[in-house]
Amino acid sequence: MVRIDRVHTGGGNDGESSLVDGSRRPKSDARFSVVGDCDELNSIIGLARMECSRLPMEHRDGGERKGAGRVHFICDAALSRIQHELFDLGAELACPPDKVPEYMALIAEAQADTLVSDMDAWLTQVEPLTSFILPAGGPPQAVLHHARTVARRLERGVVHLREIEGEDSVRPLVLVYINRLSDWLFVLSRWITAVLGEEEMLWLPLGKRGKEDGIASAILRQAEHDSDLDHI
């Protein structure tokens, strides 16, 4: 059982910190970098859970917004599970594989396979992509896109760590899990958009967007209207 009586210990004042096995390394060490990315990803998923819980259950006209209830239920269950798994993953990453304590349960193929099962279920309810989509949309979707990019950074960090410390420094399944998780976050974002009946923001290549003059003229027109109101 974890028991934390105080957070500040002073042990990191010199720019070093301890891994799970007790060994000391600089906080700039590549292993601490991936642990930090894992922690950041977990925090962003916490934001996504919050945004999902804040979805209004009614339309502005007072009608019931049925999709919001589905999003509340599915996302809270799914994202809660992922947050627990990221804590498991962070603990593993904070220790070389040959120093992992016997009591520590590790992410297994079952967790990675569950990500695929989730995605397969969500994909039955969304239309196939015909273009790349912008990382935007409602609050839950936008935050999930952010989480997806941090998952990719975590993946790159793990690859870099293996290049530094050797392939045995991180279990191959860890990379499989993180790679699938980034896809999982993307598919979940698309599913939320579909269930809520919203439109995805498709990327339009530069060659198809036509002439773009920016927003300078709109800014100037707004300023003109502001000056008109000053005389009222």
Q: Report, as ranges of residue numbers, the positions in the chain whose pLDDT lies below 70.
A: 1-26, 28, 59-64, 227-232
111-to-58, 147, 158, 173, 205 alpha-carbon distances in Å: 35, 18, 18, 10, 37
Tally Cβ neighbours within 10 Å of residue 107: 19
Residues in the chain: 232
CATH class of 16-230: mainly alpha
pLDDT at 7: 47
Task: Kindly list the domain boundaries of the chain, sorted by start residue.
Answer: 16-230
pLDDT at 222: 86
Q: Residue 96: which residues within 8 A CB-CB, separation 6 or more?
A: 19, 21, 31, 165, 169
Asked whether the CA dihedral 37, 191, 50, 135 is positive or negative, the reply is: positive
pLDDT at 212: 77
